[in-house]
């Protein structure tokens, strides 16, 4: 039998997505290259692994068994990588960390600090929204995640990191800029630039508005905080974002934070990983660094609201 680890990896990815296109995207390959790898894998094993029904593909009985095996092989490969990592110490280790889009501003500074301590560690950073991070954890594609509160039912370990206050931002010179304790109802006709479905910020904001009987149409939806900040600055509407994402714009006067009653909405950030995940030396060093150094990397803004909360 002449199979390669590469073929196992390609097979495992196609089997997980049940899609050649999505597997190709994840593996940075073309779809014909993925099909070719699967064909060669099937030829070497002498069994058919996928069957096509209409536009969908399914695992055959043999495919399901090999999938189970490929999970064991992936696990063994991870253990081998950990062993090699341990033998080499921190030199040349890899840190796979993923963060919520809201956390990235703080996380980038944190990673820069970590790399100053461990310059030879290679860092692979993924930035995506709350539901994207849950998928990465679920599929064991990341070691450590910094994000909003994850659901409790998964095999996850979540450690509180920092408060994450959500604030309402407006363009400079907005008529409500200097008003204190603005009633929520005052904003009922405003357009809000909302984050996309799947964002933790979005679900908190929706929950808050529903609890307060406010109907907000998501007529403007943007899938990152940077676009929301630019949109607000350009006068497209108001935004609700993490305070930690707007320090530069607020301090330079390009955006203002409105002093709205019930705000900031207090969310929290957590450091999350799979309970069963074996962490490398580098992963353990990163966890310790985050725990002990986190406060150094949060930038305070000069803003305080009327309750003195911020
Ligand atoms: P998000 O971040 O709004 O970018 O998804 C927060 C979270 O993880 O809940």
User: What is the Å distance from ligand 1's center to 204 Cα?
Assistant: 9
d(C-alpha 17, C-alpha 9), whole Å: 12
Decide: 229 in ligand 1 pocket, CB within 6 A.
no
Q: Kind of pairing, strands 192-195 and 220-222?
A: parallel
Q: What is the pLDDT of residue 218?
A: 66
Counting Cα atoms < 13 Å in the Cβ hemisphere of 68 gives 5
Decide: 13 in ligand 1 pocket, CB within 6 A.
no
Ligand 1 mutation target, pool 147, 163, 194, most atoms within 8 A of CB: 147
Decide: 245 in ligand 1 pocket, CB within 6 A.
no
Which of ligand 1's atoms lies nearest the C-alpha of 199?
A: 5
For residue range 242-270, list pLDDT tens digits in order: 998 998 899 899 999 999 999 999 999 99
d(C-alpha 89, C-alpha 240), whole Å: 43
Instruction: Report residue 11's pLDDT band, with 50, 70 and 90 as the boundaries.
Output: very high
Residue 225 above 80 pLDDT?
yes
Mean pLDDT of 278-307: 82
For residue range 172-205, list pLDDT tens digits in order: 999 999 999 999 989 988 899 999 999 999 999 9
């Amino acid at each position: 039998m002449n199979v390669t680890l590469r073929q196992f990896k390609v097979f495992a990815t196609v089997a997980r997505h049940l899609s050649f296109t999505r597997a190709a995207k994840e593996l940075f390959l073309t779809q014909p290259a993925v099909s070719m790898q699967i064909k060669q894998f099937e030829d070497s094993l002498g069994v058919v692994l996928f069957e096509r029904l209409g536009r969908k593909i399914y695992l055959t009985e043999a495919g399901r068994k090999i999938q189970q095996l490929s999970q064991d092989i992936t696990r063994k490969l991870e253990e081998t990588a950990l062993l090699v990592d341990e033998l080499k110490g921190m030199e040349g280790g890899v840190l796979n960390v993923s963060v919520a889009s809201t956390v990235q501003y703080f996380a980038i500074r944190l990673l820069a600090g970590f790399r100053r301590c461990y310059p030879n560690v290679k860092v692979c950073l993924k930035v995506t929204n709350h539901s994207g991070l849950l998928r990465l954890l679920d599929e064991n594609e990341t070691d450590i995640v910094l994000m909003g509160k994850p659901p409790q039912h998964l095999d996850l370990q979540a450690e509180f990191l920092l408060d994450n206050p959500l604030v309402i931002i407006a363009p400079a010179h907005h008529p409500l800029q200097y008003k204190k304790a603005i009633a929520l109802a005052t904003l009922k006709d405003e357009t809000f630039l909302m984050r996309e479905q799947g964002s933790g910020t979005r679900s908190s904001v929706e929950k808050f508005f529903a609890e307060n009987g406010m109907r907000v149409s998501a007529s403007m939806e943007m899938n990152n905080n940077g676009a929301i900040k630019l949109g607000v600055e350009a006068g497209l509407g108001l935004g609700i974002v993490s305070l930690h994402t707007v320090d530069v714009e607020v301090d330079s006067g390009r955006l203002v934070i409105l002093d709205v009653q019930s705000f900031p909405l207090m969310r929290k950030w957590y450091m999350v990983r799979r309970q069963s995940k074996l962490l490398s030396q580098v992963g353990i060093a990163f966890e310790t660094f985050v725990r002990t150094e986190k406060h150094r990397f949060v930038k305070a803004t000069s803003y305080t609201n009327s309750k003195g909360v911020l």
